[in-house]
Amino acid sequence: MLNLVSLLFLCGSAHLAAGACATGWVQFETSCYKIEARAIKQWTDAKKACEAEKAQLTIIMTKEENDFVQRELRKLQIADMGMQFWMDGTDITTEGQWIWESTGEYFEIYDWSPGEPNQSGGEEDCMSFFRLYDYHWNDEHCNRPEGYVCEKEMASGPAVG
Ligand SMILES: *[C@@H]1O[C@H](CO)[C@@H](O)[C@H](O)[C@H]1NC(C)=O
């Protein structure tokens, strides 16, 4: 029989289930993040891959969030210094004017590696975390296949309890 205590317990677990990130995703504050290091893609395809999972390429709003994602990337201990991971930023619309593509908003914080963005070769319009720079930010050619970081809001779930 369902007494008050087990009823409260059931409500509590429902909340936990609704609030957790799915397997393969890591939580920071109210977002879930997935780092894809194997299925490397061009920026546009990486963006589509995130969207297919009801997510977007990650948007970095605070230093704390940036630190979190960089910590997660470092945990992978990737040997290839050339490896990069796409995020949502781009200046493809207006050169030098960086925005988060999914929201159209300007940046709140910057973490460009010294000397970046350098528009190397004339058309580096997509943003990455660069292993060579210990995952500080770089502008890169959008058509380079790279890893990527997806982000989505934690599911708020049904209002149980
Ligand atoms: C510009 O940045 C790229 C990385 O996007 C780097 O490989 C290159 O060495 C940089 N060029 C200069 C002149 O610093």
| pLDDT band at residue 5 under the 50/70/90 scheme | very low
| pLDDT band at residue 12 under the 50/70/90 scheme | very low
Q: What is the pLDDT of residue 121?
A: 84
> How many CB atoms neighbour CB 122 within 10 A?
8
Q: Ligand 1 centre from 80 Cα, in Å? A: 16
Closest approach atom of ligand 1 to CA 120: 1
Share of the chain above pLDDT 90, in %: 81
Share of the chain above pLDDT 70, in %: 84
| pLDDT band at residue 157 under the 50/70/90 scheme | low
Classify each residue of 4-18 as buried b or exposed e, where b means 16 or more C-beta atoms within 10 Å of its C-beta.
Answer: eeeeeeeeeeeeeee
Query: Measured at the alpha carbon of residue 29, what is the angle toward residues 140 and 89, in degrees to the nearest 5?
Result: 20
The sign of the dihedral angle between the CA atoms of 154, 34, 125, 112 is positive
53-100 pLDDT, tens digit per residue, is: 999 999 999 999 999 999 999 999 999 999 999 999 999 999 999 999
Query: Measured at the alpha carbon of residue 48, what is the angle toward residues 38 and 17, in degrees to the nearest 5?
Result: 80
Q: What is the pLDDT of residue 14?
A: 44
Give the chain's domains with CATH numbers: 4-153 (3.10.100.10)
Residue 159: which residues within 8 A CB-CB, separation 6 or more? Answer: none
Q: Nearest residue CA, atom 3 of ligand 1?
A: 120
141 within 8 A of 121, measured Cβ to Cβ: yes
CB 125 near ligand 1, within 6 Å:
no
Q: Is the pLDDT of residue 49 over 70?
A: yes
Mean pLDDT for the chain?
89
Q: Map residue 79 onto helix, strand or coil.
A: coil
Residue 79: which residues within 8 A CB-CB, separation 6 or more? Answer: none
Q: Ligand 1 centre from 13 Cα, in Å? A: 50
Q: Which of the listed residues 113, 118, 134, 138 should we mutate to test ligand 1's pocket, taking the one with most ligand atoms within 8 A of CB?
A: 118
In the chain, % helix, strand, coil (3-state, to 5) comes to: 30, 30, 45
The whole-angstrom separation of Cα 115 and Cα 113 is: 6
Q: Ligand 1 centre from 4 Cα, in Å? A: 63
What are the structure tokens assigned to 143, written together? 């058509």
Closest approach atom of ligand 1 to CA 128: 5
Q: Is the pLDDT of residue 4 over 80?
A: no
Q: What is the pLDDT of residue 155?
A: 79
CB 97 near ligand 1, within 6 Å:
no
**Residue 84 to residues 2, 8, 19, 146, Cα–Cα distance (Å):** 53, 46, 30, 6
Q: Is the pLDDT of residue 18 over 80?
A: no
CB 118 near ligand 1, within 6 Å:
yes
